[in-house]
A and B are shown apart, each in its own frame.
Chain A
Amino acid sequence: MLKRKPTTQVQIDMDKNIARRKIIGAAFFIFLGIALYVASNIVDELRVYQGATVAVYVVAISSIILLTGYSGQISLGHGALMAVGAYAAVLSRNYWNFPIPLTFAVAVLAAALFGALLGMAAGRLSGPYLAGTTLALAVGLPSLANQFKILGGEEGLTYDVGFPPLALGQDFTQYKWFFWIAALAALAATWVIFNVLGSRYGRQWRALRSNPTAAALLGVHVARSKVLAFTISSGVAGLAGALMSMTISLVTPSAFPLSLSFAIVTGAVLAGVTLLTGSIVGAVVLVAIPEVTAALATHLGGSEKVTSNLPGLMMSALLILSVLFFPNGPQLHRRKTRKS
C-alpha cells in the first residue's frame, strides 16, 4: 500500500487519531503485561492454572471476534481449527523436535492454511450455510483423527513443553510456566489482531459487514477480503489450540468436542462480539462458569445428573439471553440507547 501524504485537515486529524490509538494500545498492553506478571507471583497455584486457561480462551475468542464481529462471518467449527493447530504443533515437536516457539508458529501456519481452503468455500457462503458447514467440520474433523496412526488415535499424543528454565528459580512451578507462555502468546496475538483490526483490512471488514454491496462499490474485493478474515482467524484459532494442548500436555480428539466450538462462540457473544477487549471478559466468564456452578451445586446439594449439566445450562441460558438483549454486544447497545 502506498504511503499517502496527508493533505487535508481531516486526513491530518485521522492520522493523529490512528497514532494516538496506537500509543494508547501499546501502553495498555505493557500495563497488562506488568499486571499479569505481578499477579502470577501472588495468587495460588490453581488460580495460576486458571489464568493460563483464561489466556487460551482469550486467544480463541479473539479469533471469533475478528471473524464474526468484524467480517460478519460465523464459524461453529473453530474447535476443529484449534485441533488442526494442536496436532500440527505436537507433530512438529515430536517428529522434528522443533523448539516450542516454532511449534506455535507451525500451529498458526497449519491452521491458517486449512482455514484459507475452508474460507475459499466459506467466502461464497453466508449466514446459515456457513454455520452449517463449519458445524459439520466441528462434528467430523476431530473424530477423523482416530483414523490415522500417526495422530495417535483415541489416546492422542503427549505434548511436552519441558520444565521451566532453571534461571527462573527453584520454586518456579510448571503451571506458572504454562501461564507465562500462554499469557505472553495471548498478549502477542491480541496485539497483532488489534493492529490488523485498526488497519485498512479491519475497516474493509467492517464496511463489508454493514453493507457488502456498498463495500464492493467502494473497491473492496468482497470474496478476497472474507477469505483473508477467515485465514487470519483460523491461524489465531490454531495458536489457541496449541496453547490449550500445552496446558493439558496432551492432544486427543476428545479435547476438541463440539462443545468447545460452542463455548468459544458463547464467550465471544458474551464479550460483546464487536469489541476486542471484551475477549478477556468472555474468557473469564468461560472459566468462571464451571467454578460458580460447582459451588452452587454443592450448596444446593443436587444429584450428579444435575451438577454435571449445570455449566451447560448456565452457558446456554447466558448465550440466549445475551443474544436477545444485547444482540450487538453491550457497548453498541449502550451507544444506541444513549443516542435515542
Chain B
Amino acid sequence: MSRIINTLLIGISGGSIYSLMSLALVLVWRSTRVVNFAQAGQAILSTYIGYVVVTHTDNYWLAFPVALLSGALIGALVDIFLIRILARRANSGPVAAIAPVIATLGLLGLIRAIVGMIWGGDLRRFKLPVTNHGFTFGHTTIPFAPINLLIVVTTVIVMLIFSVIFQRTNLGLALRASAFSPEIARLAGVRVDLTRTIGWAFAGAAGAIAGVLVTPTNYLSPNSLDLLLVSGFVAAVIGGLESLIGAALGGLVLGISLAFVLEYISSSLAFPVAFVVLMAVLLIKPAGLFGGKRVRSA
C-alpha cells in the first residue's frame, strides 16, 4: 500500500514538470497555431541564466525569478523577431504549413549551439534549493522529498496564477479572444499582435520554471531538456493541445503512468510507454482526453 502511495507521489512530482512544459506548448499553440519545438531551447537558455545567478550569488531564490523573467523575455523576442516575420513571408505555397515547424526546429539548434559555445557541453550540477532526502516518518523514509514538494507546490501556484489571469482579467479575455478568432478580436479592438507576444512571453516563463525546477534534481547540459520537450508534447496531446486544464491533467496522467511503469514493470520501458500512450491517444481520441469536439486539421 505504501509503495502505491509513494509511486503516486513521485508520479505527481514528475507529472508537474510535464504539465509546465505542456502548458508552455499549449499557450503558444493557442495564440499562434505553432507547436514551438524551440521551447526546449528557450527553457535551457533561461535555465543557464539561472545557473549563472545561482553560482555567483549562491541563492536559488534569486535565480528563480531571474530565470522566469529571462524566459518571458526570450519568448517575446522569439515571437517578434522570428514568428511574426515568418507569418508574413511564408504564408503560401506547398510547405507553408510546415514552415513554423522547421523554423522553430532551426531555432532550437541555434540556441543549443549558442549555449554550447558559452558554457560548453559538460554536465553541470545545479544547486538544490531544498534537500532531496525523502521525508521521514518515524523510522521510514519515503522517496518523496522536499524538492518534490517544492515542484508540486510551485506548479500548482503557477497554474492558479495562469487560470486567474485567463479567467478574471481583461488581458486573459484578450488572450482568449485572439486565440479563438483573431479577425473578430482585432475588429473588437484587441491588439492581436501584442496579445500574441504576451502569450509567447507567458509560455517562455512557464518553460523556464520547468527548467529551473527539474534541473536541480538532475544535471544541466545544452540538451538536458530535450526529453522534457517530448514529454511535454505527449502531455499536451493527451490534454488536447487547446486547454490549459487539459495540459495540467495531461502532464499528471503521463507522470503518474510513467512512475507506475518504472516502479512495477521495468525502468527501460519509460520511452515505449510514452510513445504508445501518444499513438493511442492520437488514433483513438485525436481531440485529446480532455479536449473539446473540434477536429484538429491545422
Contact = CB atoms under 8 A, between A and B. Distances in A.
Contact of A265 (B29, B105, B117, B119): B105
Contacts of A327: 89-90, 93, 95-96, 99
B113 A316 contact: yes
B98 A135 contact: no
B281 to A, nearest CB: 10
Interface in B86-127: 86, 89-90, 93-103, 105-110, 112-114, 116-121
A72 to B, nearest CB: 6
Contacts of B283: 121, 124
Contacts, number: 161
Interface string A111-133: 00000000001001111110111
A323 B109 contact: no
Contacts of B34: 128
Contacts of A206: 94
Q: Which of B95, B110, B282 has the most chain A CB atoms inside 10 A of its CB?
A: B95
Nearest to B116: A309
B117 A313 contact: yes
B90 A324 contact: yes
Interface in A259-316: 259, 262, 265-266, 269, 273-274, 304-306, 308-310, 312-313, 315-316
B113 A313 contact: yes
B128 interface: no
Nearest to A317: B110
Contacts of B237: 129, 132
A68 interface: yes
Contacts of B233: 132, 135-136
B82 interface: yes
A72 B90 contact: no
Contacts of B99: 323, 327
B122 to A, nearest CB: 10
A324 B90 CA distance: 7
A323 B121 contact: no
Interface stretch (B54-62, B147-155, B185-193, B271-279): B271-279
Contacts of B85: 324
Contacts of B108: 316
B95 A68 contact: yes
A50 interface: no
7 contacts: A74-B98, A76-B105, A121-B282, A126-B97, A127-B101, A308-B116, A327-B99
Given A76-B105, A305-B119, A320-B103, 16 more contacts: A68-B95, A127-B97, A128-B29, A129-B237, A132-B35, A140-B272, A209-B94, A305-B121, A309-B114, A312-B112, A319-B102, A323-B90, A324-B85, A327-B95, A328-B95, A332-B94
Interface of B: 29, 34-35, 37, 82, 85-86, 89-90, 93-103, 105-110, 112-114, 116-121, 226-227, 229-230, 233-234, 237, 268, 271-272, 274-275, 278-279, 282-283, 286, 296-298
The 3 closest A-B pairs by CB, nearest first: A316-B109, A327-B90, A319-B106
